[in-house]
Amino acid sequence: MTQLLLKASLETLYMVFVATSFTILFGLPLGIVLVITSKGHILERPLLNCILSYVVNMMRSMPFIILMIFIIPFTRLIVGTSIGTNAAIVPLVVAAIPFFARIVETSLYEVDGGVIEAATAMGANQWEIITKVMLPEALPALILGTTITIINLIGYSAMAGAVGGGGIGDLAIRYGYHRFQTDVMIATIIILVIMVQLLQSLGNWLANRLLVHRRK
Amino acid sequence: MIQISELTKVYSKNGQIVKALDGIDLEIEKGDIYGIIGLSGAGKSSLIRCINRIEEPSSGRVVISGVDITALSEKELRKSRQNIGMIFQNFNLLSSKTVYDNIAFPLRLQKYSEAIIKEKVTSLLEKVELTDKANVYPSNLSGGQKQRVGIARALATEPEILLCDEATSALDPKTTKQILSLLKTLSYELGITLVVITHEMEVIKAICNKVAILEAGKIIEKGVTAELFSTVPTPQTRHFLGELEAPEFLTQKGTRLHLTFSNGSANAPIISGFIRQFPYDVNILSGNIESIQRQVVGKLLIEVLTPSEDEMGRVIAYFEDQHVVVEVL
Q: Where are the alpha helices (DSSP H) in B82-113?
A: 99-109
Name chain A contacts of B54, Cβ cutoff 8 Å: 117, 120-121
pLDDT tens-place string over residues B10-65:
988 888 888 889 989 999 999 999 999 988 888 899 999 999 999 999 999 999 99
- Identity of the residue numbered B47: L
CATH architecture of A2-215: Orthogonal Bundle (1.10)
Residue A147 and residue A195 in contact, taking contact as beta carbons nearer than 8 Å: no
Q: Where are the alpha helices (DSSP H) in B33-172?
A: 44-51, 74-81, 99-109, 114-127, 143-155
With an 8 Å Cβ cutoff, is A131 touching chain B?
Answer: no
Tens of pLDDT along chain A (216 residues) come to 788 889 989 999 999 999 999 999 999 999 999 999 999 899 999 999 999 999 999 998 988 888 888 988 999 998 888 888 888 899 999 999 999 999 999 999 999 999 999 999 999 999 999 999 999 999 999 999 999 999 999 988 888 776 777 888 888 888 888 888 888 889 989 998 999 999 999 999 999 888 877 775
- Identity of the residue numbered B145: Q
Domain range summary for chain B, segments of one domain joined by +: 2-228, 243-328
Nearest-angstrom CA–CA distance, A215 and B244: 47
Tell me, what's the ipTM?
0.85
Q: Are B81 and A123 a contacting pair at CB < 8 A?
A: yes
Q: Does domain B243-328 have CATH number 3.40.50.2300?
A: no
Nearest-angstrom CA–CA distance, B304 and B283: 7
Nearest Cβ partner for A123 among B82, B97, B163: B82
The proportion of chain B whose per-residue pLDDT surpasses 70, expressed as a percent, equals 99
Nearest Cβ partner for B86 among A118, A132, A216: A118
Nearest Cβ partner for A122 among B90, B95, B109: B109
Nearest-angstrom CA–CA distance, B252 and A173: 94
Q: For residue A211, with 0-12 CB atoms within 10 Å meaning exposed, 13-18 middle and 19 or more buried, which class applies? A: middle
Q: Does domain B2-228 have CATH number 2.60.260.20?
A: no
Domain range summary for chain A, segments of one domain joined by +: 2-215
Name chain B contacts of A210, Cβ cutoff 8 Å: 96
- pTM as predicted: 0.86
Q: Are B78 and A124 a contacting pair at CB < 8 A?
A: yes
Q: Are A122 and B81 a contacting pair at CB < 8 A?
A: yes
Q: Are A117 and B92 a contacting pair at CB < 8 A?
A: yes
Q: What is the pLDDT of residue B177?
A: 92
